[in-house]
Amino acid sequence: MSTRIGAWSLLGSPAVAAVMASAEPDWLVLDAQHGRFDDAAVVDTLSLLAGAPNRPRTVVRVAAGSPWLIGRALDAGADGVIVPMVQNAEQAALAASACRYPPLGSRSWGPLDGAYGRTPASAADANERIECAVMVETAEAVAGVDEIAATPGVDMIFVGPFDLALSLGTDVPSLLGDSSPENPLDRIVAACRAHGVAAGAFAGSNELAAQLAARGFDTLAVAVDTMLLHDAVAQQLQAAPR
């Protein structure tokens, strides 16, 4: 199975997100939980990207699992959402339902495409295209990961290694270095494989991505705008003649 490599935008800037999209990652995340993407920035970014050639699949990490937050992101044109802090199958089902129109879910009709002179996708096409990813990042969620992965309408389990490590009372290097049969990362991947859903994770670097890929994660975020900008500026300044 090939690995989907993605970029992650925190800055809340449509222009920055468009530059990242032009590098043609397999997918792009607009972060409205820990990033600066508010509702207006999400709408403006997705509107700008709508006409971009070879636009990657663009998803929004919403601030919470509220159906209205999920609906707003999808109405703006997102190809899917990443829902944080999903603790159990009940919360996963709520997120999946909010992603799809009846009869598959409870999403309300209101795509913004018509306001921009574009013809919106039909409800059936939208239901087929949208990707619902739920984040497993606590000890409680790991305990119920098999039921979460089995939830109809969930397309991906997405791991936040840093929050997961905090919840388990450890750190990311220890989590990745744990070779015991009960390693929570391996449990998550096994649940994804058993139920035919993608296994995703935030890496933030190629080094961490390689370790996660070795454990079976097939959808990884490696390029983060804030890190890239800082590192590029620091490198140029250090290399400048004095």
CA angle 203, 141, 209 (to 5 degrees): 10
Helices marked H in 33-181: 39-50, 67-75, 89-99, 123-129, 139-143, 145-149, 161-167, 172-177
Give helix then strand counts, H and E, for the chain. 12, 8
What sign does the dihedral 67-61-152-160 (CA atoms) show? negative
CA angle 237, 23, 222 (to 5 degrees): 75
Between helix 39-50 and helix 14-22 the angle, nearest 10°, is 40
Catalytic residue, candidates 15, 23, 24, 34: 34
Exposure on the CB side of residue 109, measured as CA atoms within 13 A:
8
- The answer to whether the beta carbons of residues 157 and 197 sit under 8 Å apart is yes
Whether 34 is a known active-site residue: answer yes
**CA nearest neighbour of 190 among 131, 138, 140, 136:** 136
CA angle 189, 9, 75 (to 5 degrees): 85
Question: What is the four-CA torsion angle of 232, 234, 238, 242, rounded to 10 degrees?
Answer: 110
Instruction: Dig out the tokens for 129 from the structure.
Output: 């295209």
Q: Residues with catalytic annotation?
A: 34
